[in-house]
Amino acid sequence: MSTQDATDGTGSQALLAAAWMMGAVAAFTSMAVAGRAVSFELDTFEIMAYRSLIGAAIVAATLGLRGRWGAVGLRRPDLHLARNLAHFTAQNLWFYAIVSLPLAQVFALEFTAPLWALVLSPLLLGERLTRARALAALLGFAGILLVARPGAAPISPALLAAAGCAIGFAFTYILTKKLTVQVSTAEILWWMTVSQAVFGLACAAFDADITLPSAATLPWIALIAAAGLSAHFCIASALRLAPATLVMPFDFLRLPVIAVVGLVAYGEPIGTWVVLGAALILGGNYLNLRAGTASRGANRAARS
């Protein structure tokens, strides 16, 4: 295969990238199903604590087998703390929402996270908000209105949690971007799992009543931990093989897949407003991807 083929994401590398993304879709979907399965026994803080403990063990074993412990330091504790608090909060809200709302509605609102990041980036990263990206944000927020339908349907705590988790994930993306230019991915994953295990145990113990997972629940917890790490590994692997404009639209398949899972497994109807709103949100995301690619291309041309 030529260098140009690899760069453009064509041929076998594009197919392999697509396969990695389908793995990410399967991982995110299984995490939602497993989250519902354990919610009847554990609260969200307990889920996060046990998930993170298992995740820390997986990361530790991987670092040990690959001889990567030297890449783990603590060079920006302030950014690590801010990132992991944002992610911990967002993930707790997400687990709460998937128990209380139709899965398709939660995933549709979760997909607004990149659009929130788009709006917050000029404030936190100093990035320029172009016309194309502003249009992408407007499309996404119009989609939010269709999915949430304020005034036509009651605004429940679960709906606010689903919207809130997207904002939390947006802060996570921005802080991760700041971290990745200064520290290794191994360091980010290690401190994420360790700190969130501490946060989860501390919050779960606040009422002096921590429920231990039963033998029936423990495999689901292990699945949540493995799926969470696997999803991000699959996305990173896909992005190494093909451009984001080819890779990330595959992530949009999560929405129709989870809608079918919700319909078949839980009898959740697929509402027209959710479909229309999701289409606007995904359209805004794709427009943002295209705008980002065009901007990077223009910058490369200016430097050459």
Q: What is the DSSP string of 170-196?
A: HHHHHHHHHHHTTS-HHHHHHHHHHHH
Spans in the chain with pLDDT lower than 70: 1-11, 150-153, 244-245, 292-304
pLDDT at 206: 86
* Backbone dihedral angles phi then psi of residue 150, each to the nearest 5 degrees: -60, 135
Q: Say how far apart CA 187 and CA 89 lie, in whole Å.
A: 20
Q: Say how far apart CA 237 and CA 244 lie, in whole Å.
A: 11
pLDDT at 93: 96
Task: Please enumerate in sequence order all residues whose Cβ is within 8 A of that of 290, keeping only pairs 6 or more positions apart, or say none.
Answer: 132, 245
Q: Say how far apart CA 292 and CA 114 lie, in whole Å.
A: 12
pLDDT at 240: 80
Nearest to 59 by CA among 169, 187, 178: 187
Q: Say how far apart CA 119 and CA 218 lie, in whole Å.
A: 39
Strand, coil or helix: 55: helix
Q: Cβ(83)–Cβ(124) under 8 Å?
A: no
Domain residue spans of the chain: 3-294
CA angle at residue 51 from 50 to 53, to 5 degrees? 60
Q: Cβ(59)–Cβ(189) under 8 Å?
A: yes
Q: How far is CA 276 from CA 147, 180, 197, in A?
A: 8, 35, 38
Q: What secondary structure letter does DSSP report for 150? A: B
Around 10, how many Cα atoms within 13 Å sit in the side-chain half-sphere?
A: 6
- Name residue 281's amino acid: I
pLDDT at 55: 92
Identify any residues that bridge with 153 across adjacent strands, giving them in sequence order: 150
Q: pTM to 2 decimals? A: 0.82
